[in-house]
């Protein structure tokens, strides 16, 4: 959870928030009394009271008394045994998490109860019409909008998924508690449910004991779609449509989707050797499989709902054709080779055991709420081998508790019976291939009889559960058409299962859905039929929601982006050119590279010989391009090149992609499915950002590339800008200014060649990595940079914070839509005069020099950083599949931005955000430009946004806590460096307040300040505990119990700061 989700509501009722905090805190106290005893709870309460008193004294300006109370608290913590410290850390960590749940709940409640929500579609549409935009212009702008939210697996989500779901259940219970019609008995049951959830949380291990795999991360992202976005998207689109209808007289077209979703989970291989070509392929197939599975469930519900017989002539004809086709194709055979009946055929087609399980439906909902508890639709894999395939019913339960069907290692079909005997026959995945029996005819007859008996009960129940088809289409035509849709979806799903296992599939192309348009066709036909038959109210219900889901999620839920570092592509071309005796590619200058790449791209033959022998790293790159060529743009979105710095970086990927598509096409004997992937350069460092416009100009000056963009990508060039590495490279202020200028330059370059541009923002969750409220971020972009199109990442913890609940997801989607619409139709103001740009340059220059002189040029800084923060211990959190460093170097340069920001956030120093800013502002103010800065803050959205975000972070910084880390953990010889940095922090606060005109930090965000203050009685002791545990651990670094205690404090501080990295 994070403080940057303030888009949800501007204000919250602190009375009701305090009530909920007291309720949850009281219940946690009750649980702890039972779990750890009253004696220890007295210590917990004493620590809390000491911390609360110190906070009160400090807030009142009585610093000396506050300092004495804090020293007493530190002393008591240092006297604790390890077991006591561990338990106290757990208790305060859970208090902070429960407060976070209460905060989120109250934001939602306030938003729900507001009659007029700011930044909603209704609000912004009205503003635009009042400002002179015509209804037609507004309607067209909304319909043409293309926003893509890309979910990434960046390792910043610190909570285990198990605990995330328990927290969601508590949030649902708080929501249920708000109901005015709850009776005494209902409320007592609700309290019991809350106690159960809190007890369950306390008894659950908070720590991940193994690193997640890349597939685990992808599955977590897909679960966000299933648990939240699947419900949120139709609700959000209804809001957009209703607001459009109100203000323009026209509804949003049914298949129009202003927002879509992408993913990096399973595709981002930059510095992560665990993301292989095989992982990418499996995740892409899993995403398609889950999409089909969700559609099957929706179609099932629709078949029940659309029982009417009035329909259009066109639908009636289609239903009649389906019945005739099924009647003519029914050739029921009693032999072993054919399914016994249609139900069994459907059952068999769903036995896709190769795919991972999902959380049971409704697992995140509490028992007392009105929800539908369901069981997992995914088969449970408990297997003798990876090919285990239980024969499953449609609801996912095992066919029998005693009889099991599976494939052995030789693909033989085996049945294990209750008495333990195993029978088998050779298995063929294709119904058209005759099966070879591997035992005698007597045994075969016996096994056929046993198999038939094992099906008899299920077949009978199936007939009862599934009504037979009507004899003629006039009875229930919608059910006939939707039944056919379901059959094709199930065959599509089965085809994916065979594809995953590399088994042959001989389905007729007409028997499954290849594209979303094929699936939409019968659904839209049903919709039009209902509308024309006077049943529009039914058409606009569940059916319209399903059509909108298909239009949004297509056949893949989220298209997967691929990302790789530019150096890996150069290594691959080195291997190829060396093998072909053409020299070493990376030793050529830029013009030689471009000549070679352009020449090869114009050719029609593959470059890479099929017999080439290359190193494993090179083979992995080539294999990734083969996977992309095989599955194509139906499954994948963009190919992102990290650390891009030259035009040749882009053409190198275009060539490798073209070569793989030629090779795969030749093997298949037909063109590759889907189109080529968009190739997107990612400019990350300050140096690369400054050269971004020149790179794009060079690319577009190449005839082949420009024609390729026009022909294959609708004249659209996509460019990604990175916020994390630029911030670590030069400091947050300089990074923000360089990003602003880079976007202006890229836009100008594309305009020169008549090419449209889509900017892809690689924003992190924390402000140190480019995070911040969505609306504020979009509204502060350069004019012309958001022209109806935008891509942006949502990373790690932000995915759960913004999209974990359907209500928050709806609000976030609406904010994205309105912010992009406003930035398109009423672009943010540019700097009023050239002088403002010059002042920004000067502030940036001084800020960057100050930042780099400390971080990169001070020889003591690296050792200070390692001593003063828990950076070295963060790796034990197991929160991500990728390493914390791109390379094995120990320097700051190769450290990833996430642990860099994460470590400083833990100590409450948050240095990456403010370091250098104070020097820059001070330098300009001392030259007499203070009034200019005040005017810039009032009139220039970009400058105001930058300063406001820095001020918000300064409000979270805590100098006494940061000083404690130095005094206890840092060597005496380096403590002066810490003192200098604390003085720099105070200078930054002084000049930020001078520019904003505020008397105290966060004066313009009193809600946030109040929330931060409410956490301090639990957060401050957590920091003191962390210091004490770090001190002990660094003397006994093999003590696993100490390490666990440290990780608990890291979890708790992250919950209190509501940010990780």
Q: Which residues are catalytic?
A: 154, 728
Q: How far apart are CA 360 and CA 172, in angstroms?
A: 17
Half-sphere CA count of 220, side-chain side, radius 13 A: 30
**What kind and span of H or E run contains 681?**
strand 678-683
Q: How many CB atoms lie within 10 A of CB 760?
A: 25
Q: How far apart are CA 612 and CA 619, in angstroms?
A: 10
Residues whose CB is less than 8 angstroms from the CB of residue 36 and which lie 6 or more positions away in sequence, other chains included: 87, 91
Half-sphere CA count of 416, side-chain side, radius 13 A: 14
Q: How far apart are CA 355 and CA 222, in angstroms?
A: 13
761 touches 774 (CB < 8 A): no
Q: How far apart are CA 740 and CA 734, in angstroms?
A: 10
Q: How far apart are CA 143 and CA 364, in angstroms?
A: 34
Own/partner pairs, 502-511, CB within 8 angstroms, 24+ separation: 503/429, 504/429, 504/430, 505/429, 505/430, 506/430, 506/432
Q: How far apart are CA 1057 and CA 958, in angstroms?
A: 11
Q: How far apart are CA 214 and CA 282, in angstroms?
A: 10
Encode 221-257: b = buried (16+ Cβ within 10 Å), e = exposed: bbbbbbbbbbbbbbbbbbbbbebbeebbeebbebebb
The two beta strands, 404-407 and 412-416, are antiparallel
Q: Sign of the C-alpha dihedral, residues 417, 419, 420, 422?
A: negative
Residues whose CB is less than 8 angstroms from the CB of residue 988 and which lie 6 or more positions away in sequence, other chains included: 914, 917, 918, 921, 950, 954
Q: Is 85 left (phi over 0), alpha (psi -120 to 50) or beta?
A: alpha
Complete DSSP assignment for 1020-1055: HHHHHHHHHHHHHHTTSTT-HHHHHHHHHHHHHHHH
Q: Which of 880, 879, 791, 804 is nearest to 226 (CA)?
A: 804
What are residue 682's DSSP bridge partners?
720
Half-sphere CA count of 15, side-chain side, radius 13 A: 0
Q: Map tokens 């291939």 to a residue.
A: 433
List the structure tokens of 495: 């085809």
**What kind and span of H or E run contains 104?**
helix 82-113
Q: Which of 137, 197, 147, 139 is nearest to 173 (CA)?
A: 197
Half-sphere CA count of 795, side-chain side, radius 13 A: 27
Q: Which of 1018, 1042, 1017 is nearest to 1028 (CA)?
A: 1042
Residues whose CB is less than 8 angstroms from the CB of residue 96 and which lie 6 or more positions away in sequence, other chains included: 1015, 1018, 1019, 1022, 1052, 1055, 1056
Q: Interhelix angle for 975-996 vs 861-868, to 10°?
A: 90
**What kind and span of H or E run contains 151?**
strand 146-152
Q: How far apart are CA 673 and CA 661, in angstroms?
A: 10
Residues whose CB is less than 8 angstroms from the CB of residue 20 and which lie 6 or more positions away in sequence, other chains included: 102, 105, 106, 174
Q: How far apart are CA 1052 and CA 88, in angstroms?
A: 11
Q: How far apart are CA 118 and CA 101, in angstroms?
A: 23
């Amino acid at each position: 959870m994070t403080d940057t989700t303030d888009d949800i509501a501007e204000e919250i009722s602190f009375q009701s928030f305090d009530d909920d905090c007291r309720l949850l805190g009281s219940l946690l106290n009750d649980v702890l009394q039972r779990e750890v005893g009253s004696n220890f709870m007295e210590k917990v309460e004493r620590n809390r009271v000491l911390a609360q008193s110190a906070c009160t004294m400090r807030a009142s300006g009585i610093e000396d008394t506050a300092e004495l109370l804090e020293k007493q608290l530190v002393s008591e913590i240092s006297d604790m045994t390890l077991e006591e410290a561990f338990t106290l850390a757990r208790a305060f960590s859970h208090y902070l998490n429960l407060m976070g749940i209460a905060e989120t709940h109250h934001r939602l409640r306030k938003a729900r109860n507001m009659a007029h929500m700011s930044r909603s579609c209704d609000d912004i549409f009205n503003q635009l019409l009042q400002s002179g935009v015509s209804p037609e212009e507004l309607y067209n702008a909304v319909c043409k909008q293309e926003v893509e939210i890309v979910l990434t697996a960046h390792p910043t989500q610190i909570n285990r998924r198990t605990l995330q779901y328990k927290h969601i259940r508590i949030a649902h219970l708080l929501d249920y508690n708000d109901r005015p019609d709850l009776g005494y008995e209902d409320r007592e049951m609700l309290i019991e449910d809350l106690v159960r959830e809190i007890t369950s949380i306390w008894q659950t291990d908070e720590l991940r004991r193994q690193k997640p795999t890349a597939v685990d991360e992808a599955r977590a992202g897909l679960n966000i779609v299933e648990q939240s976005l699947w419900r949120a998207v139709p609700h959000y689109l209804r809001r957009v449509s209703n607001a459009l209808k109100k203000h323009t007289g026209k509804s949003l077209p049914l298949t129009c989707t202003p927002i879509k979703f992408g993913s990096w989970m399973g595709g981002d291989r930059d510095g992560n050797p665990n993301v292989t070509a095989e992982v990418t392929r499996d995740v892409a197939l899993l995403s398609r499989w889950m999409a089909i599975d969700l559609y099957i469930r929706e179609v099932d519900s629709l078949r029940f709902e659309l029982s009417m017989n009035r329909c259009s002539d066109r639908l009636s004809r289609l239903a009649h054709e389906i019945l005739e086709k099924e009647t003519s194709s029914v050739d029921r055979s009693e032999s072993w080779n054919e399914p016994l009946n249609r139900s069994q055929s459907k059952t068999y087609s769903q036995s896709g055991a190769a795919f991972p399980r999902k959380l049971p439906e409704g697992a995140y909902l509490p028992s007392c709420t009105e929800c539908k508890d369901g069981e997992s639709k995914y088969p449970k894999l408990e297997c003798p081998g990876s090919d285990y395939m239980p024969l499953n019913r449609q609801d996912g339960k095992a066919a029998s508790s005693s009889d099991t069907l599976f494939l052995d290692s030789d693909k033989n079909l085996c049945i294990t019976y209750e008495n333990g005997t195993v029978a088998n026959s050779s298995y063929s995945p294709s119904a058209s291939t005759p099966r070879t029996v591997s035992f005698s005819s007597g045994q075969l007859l016996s096994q056929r009889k046993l198999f038939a008996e094992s099906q008899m009960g299920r077949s009978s129940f199936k007939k009862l559960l599934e009504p037979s088809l009507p004899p003629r289409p006039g009875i229930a035509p919608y059910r006939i058409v939707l039944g056919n849709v379901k059959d094709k979806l199930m065959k599509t799903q089965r085809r994916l299962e065979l594809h995953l296992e590399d088994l042959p599939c001989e389905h007729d192309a007409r028997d499954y859905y290849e594209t979303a348009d094929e699936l939409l066709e019968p659904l839209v036909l049903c919709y039009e039929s209902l509308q024309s038959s006077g049943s529009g109210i039914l058409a606009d219900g569940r059916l319209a929601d399903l059509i909108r889901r298909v239009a949004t999620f297509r056949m893949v839920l989220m298209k997967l982006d691929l990302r790789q570092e530019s150096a890996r592509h150069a290594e691959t071309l080195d291997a190829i050119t060396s093998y072909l005796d053409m020299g070493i590619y990376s030793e050529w200058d830029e013009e030689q590279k471009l000549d070679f790449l352009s020449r090869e791209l114009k050719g029609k033959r593959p470059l890479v010989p099929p017999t080439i022998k290359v190193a494993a790293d090179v083979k992995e790159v080539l294999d990734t391009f083969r996977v992309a060529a095989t599955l194509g743009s139906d499954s994948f979105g963009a190919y992102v090149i990290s650390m891009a710095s030259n035009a040749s970086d882009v053409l190198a990927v275009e060539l490798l992609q073209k070569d793989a598509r030629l090779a795969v096409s030749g093997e298949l004997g037909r063109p590759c499915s889907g189109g080529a992937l968009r190739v997107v350069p990612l400019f990350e460092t300050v140096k690369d950002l400054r050269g971004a416009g020149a790179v794009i100009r060079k690319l577009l000056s190449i005839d082949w590339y420009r024609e390729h963009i026009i022909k294959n990508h609708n004249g659209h060039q996509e460019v990604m800008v990175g916020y994390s590495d630029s911030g670590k490279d030069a400091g947050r202020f300089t990074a923000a200014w360089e990003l602003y200028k880079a976007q202006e330059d890229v836009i100008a370059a594309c305009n020169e060649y008549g090419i449209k541009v889509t900017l892809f923002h690689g924003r992190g969750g924390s402000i140190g990595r480019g995070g911040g409220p969505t609306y504020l971020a979009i509204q502060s972009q350069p004019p012309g940079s958001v022209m109806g199109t935008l891509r942006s990442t949502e990373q790690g913890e932000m995915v759960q914070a913004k999209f974990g609940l359907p209500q928050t997801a709806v609000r976030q989607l609406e904010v994205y839509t309105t912010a992009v619409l406003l930035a398109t139709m009423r672009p943010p103001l540019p700097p009023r005069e050239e002088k403002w740009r010059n002042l920004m340059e000067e502030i940036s220059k001084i800020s960057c020099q100050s930042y780099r002189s400390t971080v990169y040029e001070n020889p003591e800084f690296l050792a200070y950083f390692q001593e003063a923060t828990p950076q070295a211990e963060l790796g034990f959190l197991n929160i991500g599949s990728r390493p914390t460093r791109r390379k094995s170097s120990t320097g700051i340069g190769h450290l990833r931005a996430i642990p860099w920001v994460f470590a400083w956030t833990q100590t409450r120093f948050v240095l990456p955000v403010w370091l250098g800013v104070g020097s820059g502002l001070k330098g300009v103010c001392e030259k007499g430009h203070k009034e200019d800065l005040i005017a810039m803050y009032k009139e220039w959205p970009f400058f105001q946004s930058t300063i406001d975000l820095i001020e918000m972070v300064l409000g979270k910084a805590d100098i006494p806590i940061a000083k404690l880390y130095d005094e206890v953990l840092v060597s005496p010889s380096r403590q002066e460096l810490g003192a200098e940095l604390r003085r720099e922090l105070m200078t930054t606060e002084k000049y930020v307040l001078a520019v904003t005109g505020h008397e105290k930090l966060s004066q313009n965000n009193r809600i946030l300040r109040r929330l931060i203050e409410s956490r301090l009685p639990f957060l401050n002791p957590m920091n003191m505990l962390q210091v004490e545990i770090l001190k002990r651990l660094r003397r006994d670094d093999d003590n696993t119990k100490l390490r666990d205690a440290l990780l608990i404090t890291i979890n708790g501080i992250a919950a209190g700061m509501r940010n990780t990295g």
